[in-house]
């Protein structure tokens, strides 16, 4: 085999990976990705007779193309905001993409491994689910850019409330494989495709949560402050003044400002600021959520936390400390302090909060209390953790709140990617979601994950609306990922046993 004949398939797979990532950003991207995946399997299947190492490299190049296109915006945070050298910034994005691609590559080995099995499509889907789960778990996890969130605009979104996002991934992989098999077994594969898509649409008719109480009035404030200004003391003061002024402009049952909208340690905030806002809460009967930097005592002494502080009328102050931190951005893995020194950004080693923190109580005058589960930015990626929090909460959760600052990533697709993640979380839990962001996309989501209202990106504005709380638990909140992981593990065990026999 010539060198050129080896390079061309790898280049094709790299390009297909990039196209697959780009497809997620367009309307009906979840539908479009399925035939694109079929093309990927076709290319990988063409290589199945070659050495297993070549198949591994093939899957790796596909994954690198996918993640470089999907995660290029990290360059903005490293270089434009963090001041890191361009070459080092590019290398960091490439190395992270290569690490993420390893999981895709390992999952793709199911094609040559189980090529003789009649259930090869199911085994491929099972291996993909297991590796995607591990991608969200190993080294604290980084499951961003999974196929599941693309299914918000695809055929398998209705499965999410029952079996979660990983089940959507399973079905997307399986049906893309069966689409490829139409060339060999038209009737059987066409039937599989129609049945899978049809059952998914029927599943969408089920409602597991229901409206609770009267709608609440909400104000979401989007400040649109550049990330570089957060390290300028004068700009910090202007930002704090803006949000404090905006909060007092109009009362509401719930007022939310974004993650670290007060970009200063809580104990160093202007004297009397929190008391001033608490007085407004008492007088106006408004519940207020503030994004700021907290402080907590740890075994390393006093450490900062990424905190949401809640003020409710005549009630004790609430606090939620971000529990799932961003590696390198919010905590420093052992041995990587040199990297943080190159990434010239203060406050990059936070303490993490407890995974099982109580929801925020939205107190309403002479009415029911609404309970809100809070996530801060990156935490919205971890659907299993959020489902576990809701399931174990002593109080029933009625609404989701995500406080985010994506100014780190400039004018990129990062905000739309996180919006899809929030949509998937709403769909999985059957609960409406409120997204308060600095630069966008500030929005209100329905319990079916649909965007009800939103503000334009990179504008300074406030979104005032009414939001209906919901009550109840979806099967996914009750079961988590256990069913789909169990099915996937059993399929792989069966496939490996048969492989050893033959």
The residues assigned a catalytic role are: 259, 322, 377
Question: For the purposes of burial, counting CB atoms within 10 Å of the CB of 211, is it exposed (0-12), middle (13-18) or buried (19 or more)?
Answer: middle
How far is Cα 294 from Cα 305, in angstroms, rounded to an integer? 5
From edge to edge, which strands make up the β-sheet containing 443-445? 360-362, 370-376, 399-404, 433-437, 443-445, 451-454
3-state secondary structure of 1: coil
Round the CA-based radius of gyration of the chain to a whole number and report it: 24
Which stretches of 304-366 are DSSP H helices? 337-342
Measured over all CA atoms, what is the biggest interatomic distance in the chain, rounded to whole angstroms? 79
How far is Cα 28 from Cα 2, in angstroms, rounded to an integer? 40
How far is Cα 123 from Cα 491, in angstroms, rounded to an integer? 6
Question: For the purposes of burial, counting CB atoms within 10 Å of the CB of 457, is it exposed (0-12), middle (13-18) or buried (19 or more)?
Answer: middle
Which one-letter DSSP state was computed for residue 327?
B
Question: For the purposes of burial, counting CB atoms within 10 Å of the CB of 370, is it exposed (0-12), middle (13-18) or buried (19 or more)?
Answer: buried
Non-local CB neighbours of 417 within 8 Å, separated by 6+ positions? 24, 70, 144, 145, 149
- Phi, psi values for residue 10, rounded to 5°: -65, -40
* Token pair for 327: 């590696």
**Of all helices (H) and strands (E), which one includes residue 305?**
strand 301-311
Which stretches of 153-209 are DSSP H helices? 160-163, 165-180, 186-203
Question: For the purposes of burial, counting CB atoms within 10 Å of the CB of 464, is it exposed (0-12), middle (13-18) or buried (19 or more)?
Answer: middle
**Of all helices (H) and strands (E), which one includes residue 403?**
strand 399-404
How far is Cα 24 from Cα 16, in angstroms, rounded to an integer? 13
* Token pair for 339: 């990297």
3-state secondary structure of 115: coil
List residues bridging with 290 in a β-sheet: 309
3-state secondary structure of 57: helix
* Token pair for 235: 């700009």
* Token pair for 238: 């202007």
User: b/e map of 100-121 (b: 16 or more CB within 10 Å)?
Assistant: bbbbbbbbbbbbbbbeebeebb
């Amino acid at each position: 085999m010539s060198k050129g004949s080896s390079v061309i398939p790898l280049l094709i797979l790299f390009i297909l990976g990039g196209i697959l990532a780009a497809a997620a950003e367009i309307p009906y991207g979840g539908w479009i990705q399925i035939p694109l995946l079929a093309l990927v399997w076709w290319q990988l299947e063409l290589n199945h007779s070659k050495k297993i190492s070549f198949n591994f490299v093939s899957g790796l190049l596909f994954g690198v193309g996918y993640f470089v296109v999907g995660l290029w915006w990290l360059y903005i945070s490293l270089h434009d905001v963090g001041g890191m050298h361009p070459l080092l910034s590019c290398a960091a994005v490439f190395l992270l993409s290569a690490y993420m691609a390893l999981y895709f590559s390992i999952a793709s080995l199911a094609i040559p491994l189980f090529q003789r099995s009649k259930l090869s499509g199911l085994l491929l889907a099972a291996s993909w689910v297991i590796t995607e789960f591990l991608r969200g778990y190993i080294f604290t996890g980084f499951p961003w850019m999974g196929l599941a969130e693309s299914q918000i605009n695809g055929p398998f979104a209705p499965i999410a409330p029952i079996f979660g996002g990983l089940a959507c991934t399973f079905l997307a992989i399986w049906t893309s494989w069966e689409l490829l098999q139409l060339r060999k077994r038209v009737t059987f594969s066409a039937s599989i495709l129609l049945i899978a898509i049809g059952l998914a649409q029927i599943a969408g008719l089920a409602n597991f949560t229901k409206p609770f109480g009267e709608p609440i009035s909400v104000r979401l404030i989007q400040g649109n402050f550049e990330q570089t200004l957060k390290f300028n003391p004068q700009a910090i003061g202007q930002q704090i003044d803006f949000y404090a002024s905006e909060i007092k402009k109009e009362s509401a049952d719930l007022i939310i400002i974004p993650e670290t909208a007060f970009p200063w340690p809580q104990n160093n905030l202007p004297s009397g600021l929190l008391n001033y806002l608490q007085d407004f809460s008492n007088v106006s009967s408004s519940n207020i959520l503030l994004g700021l930097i907290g402080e907590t005592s740890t075994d390393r002494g006093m450490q900062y936390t990424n905190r949401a502080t809640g003020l409710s009328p005549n009630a004790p102050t609430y606090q939620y400390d971000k529990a799932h931190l961003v590696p390198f951005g919010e905590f420093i893995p052992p041995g990587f302090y040199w990297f943080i020194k190159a990434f010239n950004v203060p406050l990059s080693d936070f303490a993490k909060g407890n995974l099982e923190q109580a929801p925020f109580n939205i107190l309403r005058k002479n009415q029911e209390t609404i309970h809100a589960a809070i996530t801060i930015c990156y935490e919205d990626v971890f659907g299993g953790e959020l489902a576990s929090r809701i399931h174990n909460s002593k109080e029933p959760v009625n609404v989701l709140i995500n406080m985010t600052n994506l100014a780190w990533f400039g004018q990129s697709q990062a905000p739309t990617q996180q919006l899809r993640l929030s949509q998937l979380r709403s769909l999985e839990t059957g609960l409406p979601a409120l997204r308060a962001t600095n630069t966008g996309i500030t929005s209100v989501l329905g319990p079916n994950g649909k965007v009800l209202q939103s503000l334009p990106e990179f504008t300074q504005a406030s979104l005032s609306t009414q939001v209906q709380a919901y009550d109840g638990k979806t099967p996914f909140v009750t079961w988590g990922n256990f069913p789909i992981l169990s099915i996937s593990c059993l399929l792989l065990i069966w496939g490996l046993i048969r492989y050893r026999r033959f």
